[in-house]
């Protein structure tokens, strides 16, 4: 398990072109520190639902609240931090080795995720006690 901490997480400003006819945001290849291999998005999430509840061994992800808002609770085995994502021009880079939980989704919210790898269930750690043990021993 990577020896990463909460301080390795980053809020990244996404360029935007604001005009009277609306705003366009763009993410080019140097904005995130990985090569994109997958995009997925969460939507129609009930306000009382809980997503995540795992860590990744190798995966980097960039989460963008393209609509609405939600909270991301992050844990590195020692410390916890909650970040509210609510601006479509600000995304959160989550490095490997960080436990994440997503909750408090606003009505109609959409979480777009750029990921560094294709889907691989073997990259997940879904047991928090195991995660803590791997991070702290």
Which of 2, 38, 51, 54 does the annotation list as catalytic?
54
Distance CA(43)–CA(96), nearest Å, equals 24
Binding site for ligand T46 (CB under 6 A): 38, 40, 42, 51-52, 61, 100, 102, 113, 119
Residue 5's contacts (CB-CB under 8 Å, 6 or more residues apart) are: 76, 78, 79
54 a catalytic residue: yes
What is the chain's alpha carbon radius of gyration, rounded to the nearest angstrom?
15
Helix locations, 54-111, DSSP H: none
Distance CA(71)–CA(83), nearest Å, equals 6
Tell me whether residue 36 or residue 42 sits nearer to ligand T46 (CB atom): 42
Least distance in Å: CB of 42 to ligand T46? 6
Tell me whether residue 102 or residue 114 sits nearer to ligand T46 (CB atom): 102
Least distance in Å: CB of 120 to ligand T46? 9
Distances in Å between the alpha carbon of 45 and those of 38, 68, 69, 108?
20, 11, 11, 8
Find where tokens 């909650």 sit.
Answer: 82
Tell me whether residue 100 or residue 135 sits nearer to ligand T46 (CB atom): 100
Q: Which active-site residues does the annotation give?
A: 54
């Amino acid at each position: 398990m990577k020896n990463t901490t909460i301080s390795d997480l980053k809020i990244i400003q996404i360029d935007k072109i604001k005009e009277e006819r609306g705003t366009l945001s763009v993410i080019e290849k140097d904005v995130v520190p990985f090569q994109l291999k997958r995009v997925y998005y969460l939507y129609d999430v009930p306000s009382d639902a809980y997503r995540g509840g795992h860590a990744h061994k190798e995966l980097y992800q960039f989460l963008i609240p393209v609509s609405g808002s939600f909270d991301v609770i992050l844990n590195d085995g020692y410390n916890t931090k909650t970040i509210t994502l609510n601006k479509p021009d600000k995304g959160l880079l989550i490095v490997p080795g960080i436990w994440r939980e997503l909750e408090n989704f606003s009505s109609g919210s959409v979480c777009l995720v750029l990921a560094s790898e294709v889907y691989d269930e073997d990259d997940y750690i879904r047991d928090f006690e195991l995660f803590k043990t791997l991070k702290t021993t």
